[in-house]
Amino acid sequence: MAKPMTKTQLVAALAEEMGSDKKTASAALDAITGVITKEVSDGGAVTIPGVGKFYLRERPERMVRNPATGEQIKKEADKVVKVTVAKALKDAANG
Protein backbone atom coordinates (compact mmCIF):
# COMPACT_ATOMS: atom_id res chain seq x y z
CA MET A 1 0.00 0.00 0.00
CA ALA A 2 1.33 3.41 -0.94
CA LYS A 3 1.95 6.10 1.67
CA PRO A 4 -0.89 8.60 2.06
CA MET A 5 -0.47 11.92 0.28
CA THR A 6 0.51 14.71 2.68
CA LYS A 7 -1.13 18.13 2.68
CA THR A 8 2.00 19.62 1.10
CA GLN A 9 1.89 17.05 -1.71
CA LEU A 10 -1.84 17.60 -2.16
CA VAL A 11 -1.40 21.38 -2.37
CA ALA A 12 1.39 20.95 -4.95
CA ALA A 13 -0.75 18.59 -7.07
CA LEU A 14 -3.76 20.89 -6.76
CA ALA A 15 -1.67 23.90 -7.81
CA GLU A 16 -0.45 21.98 -10.86
CA GLU A 17 -3.99 20.91 -11.82
CA MET A 18 -5.33 24.45 -11.36
CA GLY A 19 -2.39 26.06 -13.15
CA SER A 20 -1.82 28.40 -10.23
CA ASP A 21 0.62 28.89 -7.38
CA LYS A 22 0.76 26.85 -4.17
CA LYS A 23 -0.53 29.74 -2.05
CA THR A 24 -3.78 29.89 -4.05
CA ALA A 25 -4.14 26.11 -4.01
CA SER A 26 -3.58 26.01 -0.24
CA ALA A 27 -6.21 28.72 0.29
CA ALA A 28 -8.67 26.78 -1.88
CA LEU A 29 -8.04 23.55 0.04
CA ASP A 30 -8.42 25.33 3.39
CA ALA A 31 -11.67 26.94 2.21
CA ILE A 32 -13.13 23.60 1.09
CA THR A 33 -12.10 21.96 4.37
CA GLY A 34 -13.66 24.82 6.35
CA VAL A 35 -16.96 24.65 4.47
CA ILE A 36 -17.20 20.86 4.92
CA THR A 37 -16.31 21.08 8.62
CA LYS A 38 -18.84 23.83 9.33
CA GLU A 39 -21.68 22.20 7.41
CA VAL A 40 -21.18 18.72 8.86
CA SER A 41 -20.70 19.96 12.43
CA ASP A 42 -24.01 21.85 12.09
CA GLY A 43 -25.72 18.56 11.21
CA GLY A 44 -25.80 19.00 7.44
CA ALA A 45 -24.20 17.02 4.66
CA VAL A 46 -21.80 17.88 1.86
CA THR A 47 -21.61 15.98 -1.42
CA ILE A 48 -18.53 16.33 -3.60
CA PRO A 49 -19.47 14.90 -7.00
CA GLY A 50 -17.20 12.02 -7.98
CA VAL A 51 -15.72 11.77 -4.47
CA GLY A 52 -18.45 11.15 -1.92
CA LYS A 53 -20.82 12.46 0.71
CA PHE A 54 -19.77 13.67 4.17
CA TYR A 55 -22.45 13.63 6.88
CA LEU A 56 -23.00 13.40 10.63
CA ARG A 57 -24.62 10.33 12.14
CA GLU A 58 -25.90 10.05 15.68
CA ARG A 59 -25.19 6.81 17.50
CA PRO A 60 -27.50 5.74 20.33
CA GLU A 61 -26.43 4.89 23.85
CA ARG A 62 -25.13 1.32 23.91
CA MET A 63 -23.26 -1.31 25.90
CA VAL A 64 -19.61 -1.87 24.95
CA ARG A 65 -16.93 -4.22 26.26
CA ASN A 66 -13.59 -3.10 27.68
CA PRO A 67 -11.15 -5.33 25.74
CA ALA A 68 -8.57 -5.30 28.55
CA THR A 69 -10.91 -6.49 31.32
CA GLY A 70 -13.93 -7.83 29.48
CA GLU A 71 -16.14 -5.58 31.61
CA GLN A 72 -19.38 -4.34 30.03
CA ILE A 73 -19.82 -0.57 30.28
CA LYS A 74 -22.48 1.84 29.05
CA LYS A 75 -21.31 4.23 26.32
CA GLU A 76 -23.26 7.47 26.04
CA ALA A 77 -24.91 8.51 22.79
CA ASP A 78 -22.51 10.32 20.48
CA LYS A 79 -22.07 11.59 16.95
CA VAL A 80 -19.70 10.37 14.27
CA VAL A 81 -18.75 11.73 10.86
CA LYS A 82 -19.35 9.28 8.05
CA VAL A 83 -18.22 9.31 4.42
CA THR A 84 -20.03 7.45 1.66
CA VAL A 85 -17.71 7.03 -1.31
CA ALA A 86 -19.17 7.92 -4.71
CA LYS A 87 -19.69 5.16 -7.27
CA ALA A 88 -17.44 6.96 -9.77
CA LEU A 89 -14.50 6.84 -7.33
CA LYS A 90 -15.18 3.18 -6.49
CA ASP A 91 -15.24 2.31 -10.19
CA ALA A 92 -12.01 4.24 -10.84
CA ALA A 93 -10.27 2.50 -7.94
CA ASN A 94 -11.38 -0.94 -9.13
CA GLY A 95 -10.10 -0.58 -12.61
Q: How many domains does the chain have?
A: 2
Q: What is the domain extent for residue 11?
A: 1-39
* Predicted TM-score (pTM) of this structure: 0.79
How far, in Å, CA of 47 to CA of 56, rounded?
A: 12
Residue 55 shares a structural domain with residue 91: yes
**Residue 62: its H or E element:** strand 62-65
3 state DSSP class of 50: coil
55 φ, ψ to 5°?
-155, 165
Per-residue pLDDT of the chain (95 residues; tens, 9 = 90+): 789 999 999 999 999 999 999 999 999 999 999 999 999 999 999 999 999 999 999 999 999 999 999 999 999 999 999 999 999 999 999 98
Q: Is the domain of 48 the same as that of 16?
A: no
**34, 4: one domain:** yes
